[in-house]
């Protein structure tokens, strides 16, 4: 299932704004999260094609919220949600991630699992983690999954414990647990 969704995401029209997560990487993330998705709420930041959130919904997450500023991202996510009949458990926000976090911090909603895949080199991981914590959107006991360049080491951050970091070519997946 993961391979199918990730390959469909890659097959769409070419766009400089979208950088789909490789199928092998996405599949490994879900292998590392075995049994942690069902019934949980998911936030997909810098969502791109939305593959992470869509696979999470297919694995019975109760809700997935997608945030990305690219119009192409919004279009593709809506199309995939329709295709897999997942619209009722999804919210797609066409908005800069930092504005989104600032806005949702006011409603008190926290997510069980957050996946962040920012453009490499554009924002330091520590800045995004700080914004997530400032917005209070990672639930107690929640999981933060970060896709980043292997050249950027996962930062230490109070309240987060690095569970695992795994390299896939130029990409690293770092999984943190909220302490």
Whether this model's pTM surpasses 0.85? yes
User: For the segment 139-156, what is each residue's pLDDT rounded down to a tens digit?
Assistant: 999 999 999 999 999 989
**Residue 17: what pLDDT?**
52
**Residue 169: what pLDDT?**
92
Q: Which domain holds residue 92?
A: 2-178
Q: What total of structural domains would you count in the chain?
A: 1
User: For the segment 26-72, what is each residue's pLDDT rounded down to a tens digit?
Assistant: 998 999 999 999 999 999 999 999 999 999 999 999 999 999 999 99
Q: In Å, what is the CA distance from 101 to each residue of 7, 67, 68, 144? A: 29, 9, 11, 15
With the C-alpha atoms ordered 86, 112, 25, 121, is the resulting torsion angle positive or negative? positive
Confidence band for 24, pLDDT divided at 50, 70 and 90: confident
Q: Domain of 157: which CATH number?
A: 3.40.50.150
Cβ contact 173:165 at 8 Å: yes
Query: What are the residue ranges of helices labelled H in 21-120?
Result: 23-32, 51-58, 71-83, 97-104
* Close Cβ partners of 133 (under 8 Å, ≥ 6 residues apart): 157, 159
Pairing relationship of beta strands 138-149 and 90-94 according to DSSP bridges: unpaired
Pairing relationship of beta strands 160-168 and 171-178 according to DSSP bridges: antiparallel
């Amino acid at each position: 299932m993961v391979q199918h969704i990730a390959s469909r995401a890659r097959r769409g029209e070419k766009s400089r704004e979208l950088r789909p997560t490789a199928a092998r990487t996405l599949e490994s993330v879900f292998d590392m999260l075995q049994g942690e998705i069902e019934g949980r709420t998911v936030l997909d930041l810098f969502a791109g094609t939305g593959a992470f959130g869509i696979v999470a919904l297919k694995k019975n997450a109760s809700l997935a919220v997608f945030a990305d500023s690219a119009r192409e991202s919004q279009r593709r996510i809506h199309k995939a949600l329709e295709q897999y009949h997942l619209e009722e458990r999804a919210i797609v926000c066409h908005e800069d991630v930092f504005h989104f976090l600032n806005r949702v911090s006011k409603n008190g909603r926290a997510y069980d699992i957050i996946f962040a895949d920012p453009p490499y080199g554009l924002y330091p991981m520590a800045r995004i983690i700080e914004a997530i914590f400032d917005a209070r959107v990672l639930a107690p006991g929640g999981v933060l999954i970060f896709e980043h360049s292997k050249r950027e080491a996962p930062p230490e951050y109070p309240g987060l414990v690095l569970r695992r970091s795994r390299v896939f070519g130029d990409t690293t997946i770092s999984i943190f647990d909220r302490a």
